[in-house]
Amino acid sequence: MKIISYNVNGIRSAIGKGLMQWLEAEQPDVFCIQESKAQPEQIDTEAFARLGYHSYIHSAQKKGYSGVCIFSKQEPDRVVAGMDNQRYDSEGRVLRADFGELTIVCVYIPSGTTGDVRQEFKMDFLETFLQWVNSLKKERPNIVVCGDYNICHKPIDINHPERQVGVSGFLPEEREWMDRWQQSGMVDSFREFDPSPQKYSWWSYRFGARERNAGWRIDYHWVSEPLKEHLKNARILTDAVHSDHCPVEVVIE
């Protein structure tokens, strides 16, 4: 199974930049997106259906904001929107799909870059999400949690880490949460295949950051420990340019 996750920074904008042609060429079995910035009726599900995908959409109540989607070739056995927590579910941040014994969770973790209130919201979300996934794993041990985490885990995951002190996305408390996330039995699939530096999935639109590869690796496929032996490949697809992010891919046997 090939799974691709992509923060598209507006699905309608990305489609206008050739997203569907790219998707047709890539043909993932499951395509998870974050930051759709669209209500269900604003997403052209017929275009996805023509490529063989079923569409599952969890939008934010606020229009033009947040939102996650899962597009899958195979119809899931079950789809669950949100964590049964209205504080976060109103922002359209978590979508789960079950395929046989495999569960895929698409998550868009909040950004804390707009100030203290949203940083506190982010930290609260992280704790709730960790507890929710840990509880889900008791019922569904084979889990892929893909999406935009808005956190660089290690210094290797960010350009010039010495310059990023005190910056949301690389704060000590965020990285400590990610340590606990890993210790809970989650595996960073990309690092199982590629330990090299300067591998990023997001670049600011400012200062020619992408051209200089001054990026951050904040998009991941973390898999639960039982799936580790089933990992076949993981890549960052830097050639796709429909967003300030690029897609990340994992292949599981």
Q: DSSP letters along 86-113, please?
A: HHHHTT--EEEEEETTEEEEEEEPPP-T
Q: Measured at the alpha carbon of residue 30, what is the angle toward residues 211 and 227, in degrees to the nearest 5?
A: 95
Residue 177 · residue 130 · CB < 8 Å: yes
- The pLDDT of residue 114 is 87
CA dist 122 and 124 (Å) reads 5
What are the start-end ranges of the H helices in 51-166?
Answer: 86-89, 116-139
Pick the CATH number of 2-252 from 3.60.10.10, 3.40.50.2300, 1.10.730.10, 3.40.50.11540: 3.60.10.10
- The pLDDT of residue 142 is 98
Give the chain's residues under pLDDT 50. none
In 3D, which of 71, 74, 70, 90 has the Cα closest to residue 82? Answer: 90
Is 188 known to be catalytic?
no
Q: Which of 98, 124, 148, 194 is catalytic?
A: 148
CA dist 169 and 234 (Å) reads 22
pLDDT for 51-96, tens place per residue? 999 999 999 999 999 999 999 999 999 999 999 999 999 999 999 9
Q: Classify burial at 172, counting beta carbons within 10 Å of its beta carbon; exposed 0-12, middle 13-18, buried 19 or more.
A: exposed
In 3D, which of 54, 145, 139 has the Cα closest to residue 101? Answer: 139
